[in-house]
Amino acid sequence: MKNTSIDEQSVNHAAGMAQYRFASATGLIPCRMINDYIFRIVLQTNEEALKNLIGAILHLEEGTVTSVTVMNPIDPGKSVTDKEIRMDLRVDVRMETGKRSTLNIEMQVRNPGNWPDRSMIYLARESDTLEHGDDYQLARPVYQIGIMDYTQFPEEPEFCATYHMRNDRSGTLYNDKFAIIVLSLEQIERATEDDRRYGLDRWAKLFKANTWEELKMITEGNNALASAAESLYLSNEDYNVRKVAREREDFLREQAYKDRLIETQRLELEQNKQELEKKDKELDQKDKEIAQLKAQLAAKA
């Protein structure tokens, strides 16, 4: 029989109690996975869940992703200042083939209005993975992944869209090591057969889940998803983590209010400008009419 230390026994007991409490959890989830802070905490502390999510997004068979390393971990429960508004998860991914990739994953609840530009900048920054003197062919594939609780292009709705660099005329792929992936949580019903096969639709439903009962139904029969759900529960049990997550929600809510206020003011200014331009045209027309009358009077004199 394997001997375990008192510390190991304590850890195992705590984990067992947490699983028991999660199994009996009911009601609303206080801080859901669409909270970008909770999203980061859950995935940076659960390698199995992160590997499964990456496999689902990239449509990889189980076991293809052998290890993941979060390159920018944050301290759970530590306050996030306003300057630290980027909640992206930078991941070094190793495949069973020995190949490595770099992924930058970010949860976006609020539409910043500049995601196409932002995602391109993020992708460009992450693409320079070579050391001085390395052959360019050694460059790793880089993926910028935006998980969004809105639809980036409403005129062309899609659940999971992948963008590469291609020839405008022929559509020939220029390079497959440079890709942007946009996952819309509003468009789960548009998931393709492959999206469902690799479980991406279930991950999207997990992110959107409102109650513990709903979460358990979504994750039933999938160990990686169930593990993510348990990690979400543990994160919600941690007072400091929950406090920071709510601070993030308050910050984003306030930022959204400011954005709406700025947009309202912009629209009002635009409307005022159009009204002034209309009045200027009316005045110009009046001036022309007065000038014509003056000319007619002068001709009759």
Strand ordering across the sheet containing 142-148: 65-70, 89-95, 100-108, 142-148, 173-184, 160-166
| Lowest mean per-residue pLDDT among 4-13, 170-179, 238-247, 265-274 | 4-13
Answer yes or no: is 289 within a domain: no
Whole-angstrom distance between the N-terminal and C-terminal Cα of the chain? 124
pLDDT at 260 over 80: no
Answer yes or no: is 184 within a domain: yes
Confidence band of 229 (pLDDT split at 50, 70, 90):
very high
Hey, what are 42's tokens? 């859950």
Q: In the predicted model, what is the mean pLDDT of residues 33-46?
A: 94
pLDDT at 103 over 80: yes
Contact 98, 139 (CB under 8 A): no
Identify which has the larger pLDDT, 281 or 259: 281
Confidence band of 10 (pLDDT split at 50, 70, 90):
very low
Task: For residue range 124-179, list pLDDT tens digits in order.
Answer: 988 887 787 888 888 899 999 999 999 999 999 999 999 999 999 999 999 889 89
Identify which has the larger pLDDT, 105 or 136: 105
String of DSSP letters for 169-207: TT--EEEEEEEEEEEEGGGGGG--HHHHHTTHHHHHHHH
The mean pLDDT value of the chain amounts to 88
Answer yes or no: is 269 within a domain: no
Identify which has the larger pLDDT, 12 or 16: 16
Range of the domain at 22: 6-259
- At CA 150, angle to CA 102 and CA 185, rounded to 5? 65
At residue 142, φ and ψ (nearest 5 deg) are -125, 135
Q: How far apart are CA 283 and CA 266, in angstroms?
A: 26
Task: For residue range 232-257, list pLDDT tens digits in order.
Answer: 999 999 999 999 999 888 877 787 77
Answer yes or no: is 236 within a domain: yes
Q: How far apart are CA 249 and CA 149, in angstroms?
A: 14
The pLDDT, as a whole number, for residue 7 is 57
Answer yes or no: is 162 within a domain: yes
Q: How far apart are CA 248 and CA 235, in angstroms?
A: 14
Confidence band of 206 (pLDDT split at 50, 70, 90):
very high
Q: How far apart are CA 5 and CA 296, in angstroms?
A: 109
Confidence band of 87 (pLDDT split at 50, 70, 90):
confident
Answer yes or no: is 292 within a domain: no
Contact 157, 122 (CB under 8 A): no
The pLDDT, as a whole number, for residue 301 is 67
Contact 206, 215 (CB under 8 A): yes
The pLDDT, as a whole number, for residue 21 is 83
Q: In the predicted model, what is the mean pLDDT of residues 82-105?
A: 85
Answer yes or no: is 253 within a domain: yes
Answer yes or no: is 33 within a domain: yes
Domain count, the chain: 1
Q: In the predicted model, what is the mean pLDDT of residues 274-281?
A: 88
The pLDDT, as a whole number, for residue 254 is 80
The pLDDT, as a whole number, for residue 11 is 40
Hey, what are 144's tokens? 């910028």
pLDDT at 58 over 80: yes
**Which residue, 185, 174, 225, 222, is CA-closest to 53?**
225
Contact 161, 145 (CB under 8 A): no
